[in-house]
Amino acid sequence: MERSEGDIAPVERSEGKASQVLAEEVSRRRTFAVISHPDAGKSTLTEALALHAKVISEAGAIHGKAGRRSTVSDWMEMEKARGISVSSTALQFNYRSAGSSVDNVINLVDTPGHSDFSEDTYRVLTAVDAAVMLIDAAKGLEPQTLKLFQVCKHRGIPVITVINKWDRPGRAPLELLDEINERIGLVPTPLFLPVGIAGDFRGLLRRGEDGVATEYIRFTRTAGGATIAPEEILTAEAAAIREGEEWETAAEESELLSATGQDHDEELFLAGQTSPVIYASAMLNFGVRQILDTLIELAPPPRGRAAIDGREREVTDPFSAVVFKVQAGMDAAHRDRLAFMRIVSGVFERGMVVTHAQTGKPFTTKYAQTVFGRERSTVESAYPGDVVGLVNATALAPGHTLYADKKVEYPPIPSFAPEHFSVLRAESASKYKQFRRAVDQLDSEGVVQVLRNEIRGDAAPVLAAVGPMQFEVVSARMKAEFNVEARMEPLGYGIARRTDAESADELGRQRGVEVFTRSDGVLLALVSDKWRLQYIQKEMPELTLEPLVAAAD
């Protein structure tokens, strides 16, 4: 017997309405990262996206030179001084695409471009649903871009390609597309093609079905690219008259791409086989609106995630979240520590008591904030896809799970294999307490891996890093945040291998080998070089010396 609406219990109606609200909130969210090689314009693009969403009124130059502003996403002094990103940060803002009546919520997680900070970037890629791969129009695919694309491929993250710096001299548009196809096996499917060669960027041709040009978006420069570039929309016929040969060239290239099957297919894009392509100039704010509109239209909304036991946690299930980054020193006035969590399922309400999966202990979320670069505001509620910062959550580390109601634990985030090792010492013995506190803080954030053994003691921990610039960050932050002068003494080791307690004593007696305990309890044997490693493995095959699995393997 069917029930009428009047027969439905109030609780059922309330739950049904809550589920509908949750579904609507999820559908309007897009969470993505920008990945690139250093100096491809990633931080400039991040700020240009925020400018087009009208959450900032003017873009700044990224290099932090005298008289210029640094980007909202680069807040560390080291970043401002060098004009590079060495730490990931989150920006959340609303954006309404052209012709839409809905405000979409953008969660943009900016990532370090430098290869020394690959581990931080990998953590970010565990928290997003899509990626924008930024390529320099003159340089094409570069090593760090290739590595990060492989991580996206491994994690099944769909990729939108942006060929940046089209306002500067560079390569031919089809040549760059061929390189993407040949080197990474991703079929590029341009949604727009540039009108004008690299260095003479006039506008974008919008591609329709079968590569037919549907309209021309003509841009006008603004002073220094500090404000949104005005757009003029012309028909294909008007564009042909206006631009002549440059338009005809772009139109012919569009039809040629269609003839070779390089038209957008949403199913293939989400399957990671193709990548929509947009040509842009982040510095001039050309093509930036098209990037945002494409993300809204094509990138997937938040999806469920498999737990460590293999079961899927759907976005409509009770609250759960993954901590993907811990960062201190963002607020010099308070010296606090922020744990960034990506909400996977359910609704987050500030003050709710959840469970910390790693300890089984309750965790109160009283101090919860949304982040825009270094600026923060209190968040009362959040939904799947959102990134929320929990203040002074000292028990949390990257890879940890928080949940409500049904128990869930998500797979941990793997650590990268370190390749550089240094002993860290405080310059002054009187600062030992601050020194210990600083080391523990940076270790919990995952800035470096901290190794200890009985011989060296706590006063001289060994730092292990993917790249040497991580050591510079440690020194700079210890001085700025803890008022501790410290010096690094490079160690003559080049390889780290996982070992066990049964092998540790014998390995410790070998020349060119030292055994340490990492903060997570893992035993690591540091070996001077590959020849020494090969000798030990040949002469003592019974000893455990396992490679540390890279995150993208």
**Binding-site residues for GTP, please?**
110-114
The beta strands (E) that lie in 318-454 are given as 320-328, 337-345, 348-349, 353-356, 361-364, 368-372, 375-378, 381-382, 387-391, 401-403, 420-426, 449-452
Binding site, annotated residues: 110-114
| DSSP string covering 401-441 | EEESSS---PPPPPPPPP-EEEEEEES-GGGHHHHHHHHHH
Following CA atoms 428, 432, 436, 439 in sequence, which dihedral angle do they give, to the nearest 10 degrees?
0
Q: Judge whether 517 and 382 are in contact, CB under 8 Å.
A: no
Distance in angstroms between the alpha carbons of the first and the last residue of the chain: 55
* Closest to 373 (Cα-Cα) out of 128, 104, 49, 82: 49
Surface-to-core class of residue 448, CB atoms within 10 Å of its CB (0-12 exposed, 13-18 middle, 19+ buried) = buried
User: Angle formed by the axes of helices 173-184 and 245-259, to 10°?
Assistant: 20
CA distance 59 to 78: 20
* Closest to 372 (Cα-Cα) out of 151, 56, 61, 80: 56
Buried b or exposed e, range 226-237, using 16+ CB within 10 angstroms? eebbebeebebe
How many CB atoms neighbour CB 297 within 10 A?
A: 13
Tokens for 492?
């003559």
* Closest to 439 (Cα-Cα) out of 422, 418, 455, 414: 422
Q: Judge whether 524 and 498 are in contact, CB under 8 Å.
A: yes
Following CA atoms 194, 197, 202, 206 in sequence, which dihedral angle do they give, to the nearest 10 degrees?
-10
**Which residues fall within 8 angstroms of residue 501, CB to CB, at 6 or more apart?**
523
**In the 8-state DSSP scheme, what is residue 229?**
P
